[in-house]
Chains A and B, each alone.
Chain A
Amino acid sequence: AQKVTQAQTEISVVEKEDVTLDCVYETRDTTYYLFWYKQPPSGELVFLIRRNSFDEQNEISGRYSWNFQKSTSSFNFTITASQVVDSAVYFCALSEFGSGTYKYIFGTGTRLKVLA
């Protein structure tokens, strides 16, 4: 069965430190998509990135980078030189096609606190 595990419930770092948020997934499909979303204190969920299962290239966007490794079923997210504004809950999610429709599963989230 499909599953997304974010083992880190909460992480605290000091501003300017690098931090990596872990995401491990389980799926039976060979075609699937992985996502990261940010939920700041305001509550709105912000889409950060999508990756399909055929594209294992790592991606960098400013201070954000993502490491996708199919061999370990992981899709980790690194924030370089963290800032207070990065404080939020971050969700990893998976979508796969099964039983005639797409299934979307979210992890339980990692709360990141960046201290000034």
Chain B
Amino acid sequence: DARVTQTPRHKVTEMGQEVTMRCQPILGHNTVFWYRQTMMQGLELLAYFRNRAPLDDSGMPKDRFSAEMPDATLATLKIQPSEPRDSAVYFCASGPVHEQYFGPGTRLTVT
């Protein structure tokens, strides 16, 4: 049963530190998404890639967030420097473009 994997599952860091979250999409899926979930904002799409190329990152704060796909088996989301308002659950999803399968998420706490 293929699944999207995300590491780490939990991360606690201090404000100003760099945070890197990793995602391994399901083999064969050509679209990878990054979402953020908070109580206040709900689920927000940050960015997505198709065939490793970034297609839309309009939901991402550009000054501190960056997303990349160095290869087809790895997607990364980086925050530098992190701030307390970045505390959230970050989900990666992969799929054909209209069918998203989510990973378990990374719960980030920035103190």
The answer to whether B98 touches A44 (Cβ under 8 A) is: no
Contact string against A for B residues 49-64, beta-carbon threshold 8 Å, 1 for contact and 0 otherwise: 0000001100000000
A-B CB contacts (within 8 Å), total count: 45
Main SS of chain A's interface residues? strand
Partner of B98, one of A43, A50, A106: A50
Partner of A109, one of B42, B48, B56, B95: B42
Q: Count the A residues whose beta carbon is within 8 Å of the partner chain — how many?
A: 22
The answer to whether A101 touches B89 (Cβ under 8 A) is: no
B 28-74 contacts with A by CB, 8 A? 33, 42-45, 48, 55-56
The answer to whether B97 touches A102 (Cβ under 8 A) is: yes
The answer to whether A104 touches B42 (Cβ under 8 A) is: no
Question: Is A45 interfacial (CB 8 A cutoff)?
Answer: yes
Instruction: Knowing A50-B98, A102-B97, A104-B33 are in contact, say whether A43-B45 is a contact too (CB < 8 A).
Output: no
CB distance from A95 to the nearest CB of B (A): 6
Q: Which B residues contact A (CB, under 8 angstroms)?
A: 33, 42-45, 48, 55-56, 89, 91, 93, 95, 97-105
Q: Which A residues contact B (CB, under 8 angstroms)?
A: 33, 35, 37, 42-47, 50, 52, 91, 95, 101-109
- In the A-B complex, the 5 residue pairs with the smallest Cβ-Cβ separation, listed nearest first, are A45-B102, A106-B43, A101-B56, A33-B98, A104-B45
Question: Can you list 19 pairs linking A and B with CB atoms under 8 Å apart?
Answer: A35-B100, A42-B104, A43-B89, A43-B105, A44-B102, A44-B105, A45-B91, A45-B102, A46-B102, A47-B102, A50-B99, A52-B98, A95-B98, A102-B56, A102-B97, A103-B56, A104-B33, A104-B100, A106-B43
- 9 more A-B contacts (CB under 8 A) besides A44-B104, A44-B105, A45-B91? A33-B98, A37-B102, A45-B93, A45-B102, A46-B102, A47-B102, A52-B98, A102-B97, A103-B45
